[in-house]
Amino acid sequence: MQAPQRLVNLLPSSMRSQVDSWFETLEIFTEIRDPRVLRALGPAGVRGLLLKRGKQGTPTEMPAKHSAYFDWTYPSDQPEMAELYRRAKTGQWNADTDLPWHVDVDPLNPEVPLLPENFIDFSGLDAKGIHLDAEEKLKLRYSLCAWMLSQFLHGEQGALFAAAQVTEAVQFFDGKLYGATQVMDEGRHVEAFSRYLDEKLNRLYQINDNLFVIVDSLMGDGRWDMKFLGMQIMVEGLALGAFSTLYQETQEPLLKYLLRMVIQDEARHVHYGVVALREHINHHLSESERQEREDWAYEVALLMRNRFMAYEVYEEWFEGRLSRADWRTFVMQAPGMQRFRRVMFSRLVPNLREIGLLSPRIMPHYERVGLAQYFDGASADELTAEQLISGLDGTAPPTAIAAE
Ligand SMILES: [Fe+2]
Ligand SMILES: [Fe+2]
């Protein structure tokens, strides 16, 4: 349900964006077919999309209500998780000393662009009478890159808390030990992205409303597997797609190095999510509970596919000069964003298949939105971090710019 454009155009310009955003919220809620999914996402949707809780400039308190699961016998119960735990311990790195922070970053240097020129197709703006000169184009790409990295950072804060909650709530003991390493990993990711934005880009955008909804709904859901599905599979899958795309696209060496280190950790996190959920969904849930998760994953996949529209950049640059609807079209058609969606779904869909959430019942829905091409891809447990990265650039580790 798009806002009827003729109706919106009759409104004073100060109201147009607001009405468009209300219609968009309505569209999200009316698209959800499973009432259980609506119950799980609805309250977070109201807080994020209507009340804009993430944008009030104050800390947010989200009640958590999961049970902590203790086992006083300390079983070795999941060899694959135990192996991940061992790999995680030896794969630790120090964001302070292992990254080349000495690299000078000039976000407006056309010789070392944060995002390549072909990330955006500016003819879409020209067609609407907005002509940017070379410097403004560079600045817009700088804004978009800082916006993406800000969302990564906010997502990492969510991942840090979710990893801590899941470590308490999960029933696999080897999973708890592994979880402790992930909490550390996510803390390091928060540190690294936050420092890069602060020291090198001097920018921080507010959390995107859709990301807020996903994080909010996961924090308050008492079921550990929903936190897992949301954070380890969906948000981490999204992050891995986004990190991989940006890793391929950016020429800024410090950012490239930082992303490479983070991707190695994230590959482990998604692998853990696949192992834990494959066991749980296939052996511990009823068919009705499985279907609820299958529907939930599909709705969140759509939420992520359609809704990350960088409105925070739109408000900074174009509000009053370009309609929100035209901005959406512009972002959807940006070649870099298309590449980003392709990588994201090529990672996400095979993982859903692997954990049992891509049954013939839901497949036609994925086919309808053009995602069937990813059904047969490799899932996270079949890919090592090195394969993942060499698949991105086919090169050896960038030791040439290792930290001083
Ligand atoms: Fe992370
Ligand atoms: Fe992670």
Q: For residue range 99-112, list pLDDT tens digits in order.
A: 999 999 999 999 99
Given a cut of 90, whether residue 51 has pLDDT beyond it is no
CATH number of the CATH domain containing 176: 1.10.620.20
Distance 395 CA to ligand 2 centre (A): 24
Within-domain flag for 354: yes
Within-domain flag for 151: yes
Given a cut of 90, whether residue 308 has pLDDT beyond it is no
Rounded-to-integer distance, Cα 404 and Cα 401, Å = 8
- Give me the residue label for tokens 């869909």: 349
SS3 label, residue 322: strand
- Please report which ligand is nearest the Cα atom of 179: 2
Would you call 45 exposed, middle or buried from its count of C-beta atoms within 10 A (0-12, 13-18, 19+)?
Answer: buried
Q: What is the pLDDT of residue 397?
A: 37
Rounded-to-integer distance, Cα 61 and Cα 216, Å = 10
pLDDT digits (tens, 9 = 90+) for 80-135: 999 999 999 999 999 999 999 999 999 999 999 999 989 999 998 999 999 999 99
Distance 159 CA to ligand 1 centre (A): 6
| Best CA proximity match to 187, nearest among 175, 197, 195, 198 | 195
pLDDT digits (tens, 9 = 90+) for 344-394: 888 889 989 999 999 999 999 999 888 888 888 877 777 666 666 666 654
Within-domain flag for 24: no
- Please report which ligand is nearest the Cα atom of 186: 1
- Please report which ligand is nearest the Cα atom of 237: 2
Distance 18 CA to ligand 1 centre (A): 33
Do 41 and 292 meet the contact criterion of CB atoms below 8 Å apart? Answer: no
Distance 97 CA to ligand 2 centre (A): 21
In whole numbers, what is the pLDDT of the chain averaged over residues? 86
Q: What is the pLDDT of residue 399?
A: 34
- Please report which ligand is nearest the Cα atom of 163: 2
Given a cut of 60, whether residue 396 has pLDDT beyond it is no
Given a cut of 50, whether residue 401 has pLDDT beyond it is no
Distance 314 CA to ligand 2 centre (A): 28
Distance 388 CA to ligand 1 centre (A): 16
Within-domain flag for 199: yes
Distance 196 CA to ligand 1 centre (A): 15
Within-domain flag for 268: yes
Distance 131 CA to ligand 1 centre (A): 38
Within-domain flag for 26: no
Beta-carbon neighbours within 5 Å of ion ligand 1: 156, 159, 186, 189
pLDDT digits (tens, 9 = 90+) for 3-45: 556 666 666 666 666 667 666 666 666 666 677 777 777 777 7
- Please report which ligand is nearest the Cα atom of 270: 2
Distance 175 CA to ligand 1 centre (A): 17
Least confident stretch, 44-48, 89-93, 217-221: 44-48
Domain hosting 181: range is 32-60+77-401
For the entire predicted model, the pTM comes to 0.87
Within-domain flag for 147: yes
- Please report which ligand is nearest the Cα atom of 272: 2
Average pLDDT over residues 210-237: 88
Q: What is the number of structural domains in the chain? A: 1
pLDDT digits (tens, 9 = 90+) for 248-296: 999 999 999 999 999 999 989 988 988 999 989 988 899 999 999 999 9
Distance 95 CA to ligand 1 centre (A): 13
pLDDT band at 242 (very low <50, low <70, confident <90, very high): confident
Distance 152 CA to ligand 2 centre (A): 10
Which one has a higher pLDDT value, 165 or 399? 165
Average pLDDT over residues 159-166: 94
Given a cut of 60, whether residue 150 has pLDDT beyond it is yes
Rounded-to-integer distance, Cα 217 and Cα 204, Å = 23
Within-domain flag for 27: no
Q: What is the pLDDT of residue 314?
A: 93
Q: What is the pLDDT of residue 246?
A: 92
Q: What is the pLDDT of residue 142?
A: 96
- Give me the residue label for tokens 């209500």: 65
Q: What is the pLDDT of residue 148?
A: 92
Looking at residue 88, its amino acid is: A
Distance 153 CA to ligand 1 centre (A): 9
